[in-house]
C-alpha cells in the first residue's frame, strides 16, 4: 500500500467501483434481468454517474469501448478472470498485462486472489508481477480477495474475511475487495486487519433497495471505504436510481431512509428504519 496510489479511483478517500466483468465470470445469465446491460455502452454510460469512481472491466471490453468514454469514466483494468465454464480448483487466467492496461488508459488494476485454493501460490506470484508493474506506472492496485477452494468450505466467516482483508495489506494492494462477512462487527474486524490499506465491500447477488442500502450503510459504519458492485446496480430496472442512493450513503453519510427518499423508493420494511 502506498499512500494516495489509489487517488484516481477514489472520491474523498472512498470508492464506488462499478464491476462489469460478469460476462466473463458468470456469463450471459447475469444480463437476463436487464438485457440492455449486455451492451457495454449501457454500462459505460452508468460509469459516467457522479457516484462511480471507476469501472472495472476485462481487456476486450476496455479496448473496444473505453476510447469513447475516457474523458468521463475512470478505468480499472481487471487483469485476471475465469469463466464459469471452468470446473477445476479456483484459479484465474491473467488476460492482459499492466503495460496493455496503461496503453488503453487504465488508472488502476484489479486482480483476483483465491486464498486457500490449491493455486494460491501461483496466483500470488502473478499478483506480485502485476503489483510491481502497477507501481512502476503509478497505478492503484485493487485485490479481489476471495478465499475459496477445496479445503475452504465457508468462505464468508468473520475470521476468513478478516484474513482475506489482511492478505491485501500484506501483499501490497491499496484497496482490498471482500465479501460482506454478515455483521458490522465482523466487517470492522476485517477493516482493522487491513490497517491503513482500504477495504471495499463486494456487492453480491441482487437484493431489494432497502436491504442492499442497509448492508452498505452497515459496512460503511463499520469502517469500510466503499463498495465494488455489479449486479446490485446493473440488474435493476433503473440502475441510475440505485447509484443516486449509493452516492448518498457512501459519500454523503445519508441514512438508509434518506437514501431511499433521494431515490423515491418505498421501504420494503419500514419498521427497520425506525
Residues assigned a catalytic role: 177
In the shown chain, the binding pattern of residues 14 to 53 toward ligand FBP, with x for contact by CB under 6 A and - for none, equals: -----x-xx--x----------------------------
CA distances (Å), 181 to each of 78, 157, 162, 164, 245, in order? 23, 6, 9, 11, 22
The residue count for binding ligand FBP (CB under 6 A) is 13
Ranges within 224-263 binding ligand FBP (CB under 6 A)? 228-232
C-beta closer to ligand FBP: residue 86 or 273: 86
3-class DSSP assignment, residue 192: helix
C-alpha radius of gyration, the chain, whole number: 17
**Could you say whether residue 218 binds ligand FBP (CB under 6 A)?**
no
C-beta closer to ligand FBP: residue 169 or 228: 228
Question: Which residue among 15, 34, 131, 202 contacts ligand FBP (CB under 6 A)?
Answer: 202
Q: Are 243 and 52 in contact (CB under 8 A)?
A: yes
**Could you say whether residue 113 binds ligand FBP (CB under 6 A)?**
no
Q: Are 194 and 168 in contact (CB under 8 A)?
A: yes
User: Per DSSP, what are the bridge partners of residue 178?
Assistant: 201
**Could you say whether residue 126 binds ligand FBP (CB under 6 A)?**
no
Q: Are 231 and 22 in contact (CB under 8 A)?
A: yes
**Could you say whether residue 144 binds ligand FBP (CB under 6 A)?**
yes
C-beta closer to ligand FBP: residue 45 or 271: 45
Q: Are 96 and 79 in contact (CB under 8 A)?
A: yes
**Could you say whether residue 147 binds ligand FBP (CB under 6 A)?**
no
CA distances (Å), 251 to each of 16, 39, 244, 265, in order? 9, 28, 11, 19
**Could you say whether residue 120 binds ligand FBP (CB under 6 A)?**
no
Which residues of the shown chain bind ligand FBP in the complex (CB under 6 A)? 19, 21-22, 25, 144, 202-204, 228-232
Amino acid at each position: 500500500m502506498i499512500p494516495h496510489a489509489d487517488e484516481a479511483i477514489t472520491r474523498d478517500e472512498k470508492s464506488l467501483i462499478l464491476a462489469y466483468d460478469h460476462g466473463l465470470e458468470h456469463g450471459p445469465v447475469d444480463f437476463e434481468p436487464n438485457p440492455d446491460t449486455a451492451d457495454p455502452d449501457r454500462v459505460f454510460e452508468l460509469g459516467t454517474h457522479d457516484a462511480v469512481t471507476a469501472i472495472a472491466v476485462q481487456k476486450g471490453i476496455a479496448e473496444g469501448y473505453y476510447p469513447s468514454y475516457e474523458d468521463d469514466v475512470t478505468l480499472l483494468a481487471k487483469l485476471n478472470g475465469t469463466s464459469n465454464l471452468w470446473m477445476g480448483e479456483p484459479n484465474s487466467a491473467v488476460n492482459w498485462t499492466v503495460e496493455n492496461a496503461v496503453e488503453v488508459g487504465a488508472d488502476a488494476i484489479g486482480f483476483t486472489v483465491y486464498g486457500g485454493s490449491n493455486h494460491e501460490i501461483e496466483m500470488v506470484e502473478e499478483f506480485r508481477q502485476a503489483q510491481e508493474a502497477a507501481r512502476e506506472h503509478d497505478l492503484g492496485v485493487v485485490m479481489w480477495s476471495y478465499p475459496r477452494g477445496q479445503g475452504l468450505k465457508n468462505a464468508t466467516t468473520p475470521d476468513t474475511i478478516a484474513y482475506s482483508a489482511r492478505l491485501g495489506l500484506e501483499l501490497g494492494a491499496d484497496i482490498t475487495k471482500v465479501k460482506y462477512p454478515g455483521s458490522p462487527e465482523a466487517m470492522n474486524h476485517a477493516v482493522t486487519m487491513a490497517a491503513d490499506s482500504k477495504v471495499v465491500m463486494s456487492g453480491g447477488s441482487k437484493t431489494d433497495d432497502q436491504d442492499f442500502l442497509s448492508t452498505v450503510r452497515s459496512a460503511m459504519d463499520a469502517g469500510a471505504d466503499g463498495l465494488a458492485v455489479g449486479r446490485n446496480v446493473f440488474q435493476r430496472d433503473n440502475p441510475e436510481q440505485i447509484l443516486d442512493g449509493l452516492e448518498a450513503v457512501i459519500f454523503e453519510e445519508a441514512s438508509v431512509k434518506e437514501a431511499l427518499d433521494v431515490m423515491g423508493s418505498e421501504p420494503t420494511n419500514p419498521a427497520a428504519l425506525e
